């Protein structure tokens, strides 16, 4: 006789503060987990990029080479390289271990808002205020992009990449999805400047945040509006949104110093997490566990679920 499967545990949300990183790099423009969630990157208004272990609260390395504030960063699948972009109009490829700049890609006509690696970390994609997405070959020495996607009518604010798709959000109020297998472009009009886009983990949906203080969940294939999430404040700044590690909840930064969580299916507000007094500008959800990084003013905070117990810290020698 087969025993019934144990009842799945209710998804837990990160609401317990376990670490605070005083980043000392001016305003933190973006915080990003690496691919396995063991490390994170912080982008500073003081032109620096920093690599941390947020679980222990330790700074591992500082990367200096941008000429103006750093706006976004990403790590490669094997953790050997980083890419970053900034208000100096450049995209930079870094060697993680040495901290050295491998390549600097110039070509955007304005500040670069967002950057992503493809899955194999052979191509970097960057989105800029100049209304273009540019694709850069990490392995060749050629200075020009291998492709320019210039369909946006206004600045590109956010970018995500799957194994065969590019998802971009633009100030022109559209979410665009480039299907590289089919050679198709799908465009969905949201009607308000889009500040952040992301794929759901199951690849069926896209989430878009816009400056009418609304998050929208869209069916990826049909563009059908599946859900709207409101209650937070986002009318002036480029703020991040994301989905929890199991697609159960939708999360968003807010200009009122909180992070808001909604039930994905019901659309009801589940949790408002008081982070600080200033705008919560950036967030990053752990890829496989209920962990959340938030950036507000000059610090990053790491939140875990209530039942989380920290690993025993070895005594300091």
Express each pLDDT in 217-246 by its tens digit: 999 999 999 999 999 999 999 999 999 999
- The distance of Cα 218 from the centroid of its chain, to the nearest Å, equals 18
pLDDT tens, residue by residue, 42-71: 999 999 999 999 999 999 999 999 999 999
204 to 139, 217, 225, 293: CA distances (angstroms): 32, 10, 12, 25
Residue 309 pLDDT level (bands cut at 50, 70, 90):
confident
Domains in the chain, CATH or no CATH each = 16-304 (2.130.10.10)
> Residue 124: what pLDDT?
97
Q: Which of 160-169, 248-257, 303-312 has the lowest mean pLDDT?
A: 303-312
Count the helix, strand and coil residues of the chain and give each as a percent rounded to the nearest 5.
0, 50, 50
pLDDT tens, residue by residue, 96-133: 999 999 999 999 999 999 999 999 999 999 999 999 99
Span 198-204, mean pLDDT? 94
Mean pLDDT, the chain, whole residue set: 93
- The region, left, alpha or beta by phi > 0 then psi within -120 to 50, assigned to residue 260 is beta
The pLDDT of residue 314 is above 60: no
For residue 114, which of 143, 138, 134 has the smallest C-alpha distance? 134
> Residue 1: what pLDDT?
57
Span 164-187, mean pLDDT? 96
pLDDT tens, residue by residue, 2-48: 666 666 667 789 999 999 999 999 999 999 999 999 999 999 999 99
pLDDT tens, residue by residue, 179-199: 999 999 999 999 999 999 999
The two three-digit tokens of residue 259, written as one number: 């992070």
Span 76-104, mean pLDDT? 96
Return d(Cα 213, Cα 117) in angstroms, integer.
29
254 to 131, 190, 231, 273, 280: CA distances (angstroms): 25, 19, 9, 10, 6
Residue 307 pLDDT level (bands cut at 50, 70, 90):
confident
Residue 316 pLDDT level (bands cut at 50, 70, 90):
very low
| Predicted structure pTM score | 0.92
């Amino acid at each position: 006789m087969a025993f019934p499967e144990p009842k799945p545990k209710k998804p837990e949300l990160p609401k317990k503060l376990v670490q605070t990183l005083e980043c000392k790099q001016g305003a933190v423009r973006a915080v990003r987990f690496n691919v396995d969630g063991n490390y994170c990157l912080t982008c500073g208004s003081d032109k620096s990029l920093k690599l941390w272990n947020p679980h222990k609260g330790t700074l591992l390395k500082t990367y200096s080479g941008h000429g103006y504030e750093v706006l976004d960063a990403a790590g490669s699948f094997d953790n050997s390289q980083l890419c970053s972009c900034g208000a100096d109009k450049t995209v930079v490829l870094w060697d993680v271990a040495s901290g050295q700049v491998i390549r600097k890609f110039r070509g955007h006509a304005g500040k670069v808002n967002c950057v992503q690696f493809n899955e194999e970390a052979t191509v970097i994609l960057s989105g800029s205020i100049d209304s273009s997405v540019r694709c850069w070959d990490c392995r060749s020495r050629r200075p020009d992009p291998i492709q320019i996607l210039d369909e946006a009518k206004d600045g590109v604010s956010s970018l995500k990449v799957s194994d065969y798709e590019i998802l971009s959000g633009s100030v022109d109020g559209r979410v665009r999805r480039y299907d590289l297998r089919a050679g198709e472009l799908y465009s969905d009009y949201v009607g308000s400047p889009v500040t952040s886009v992301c794929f759901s983990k199951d690849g069926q949906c896209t989430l878009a945040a816009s400056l009418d203080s609304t998050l929208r969940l869209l069916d990826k294939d049909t563009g059908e509006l599946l859900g709207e999430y409101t209650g937070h404040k986002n009318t002036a700044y480029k703020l991040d949104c994301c989905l929890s590690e199991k697609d159960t909840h939708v999360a968003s930064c807010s200009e009122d110093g909180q992070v808001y969580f909604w039930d994905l299916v019901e659309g009801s507000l589940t949790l408002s997490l008081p982070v600080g007094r200033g705008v919560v500008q950036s967030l990053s959800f752990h890829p496989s566990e209920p962990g959340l990084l938030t950036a507000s003013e000059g610090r990053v905070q790491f939140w875990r679920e209530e039942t989380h117990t920290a690993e025993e810290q070895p005594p300091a020698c």
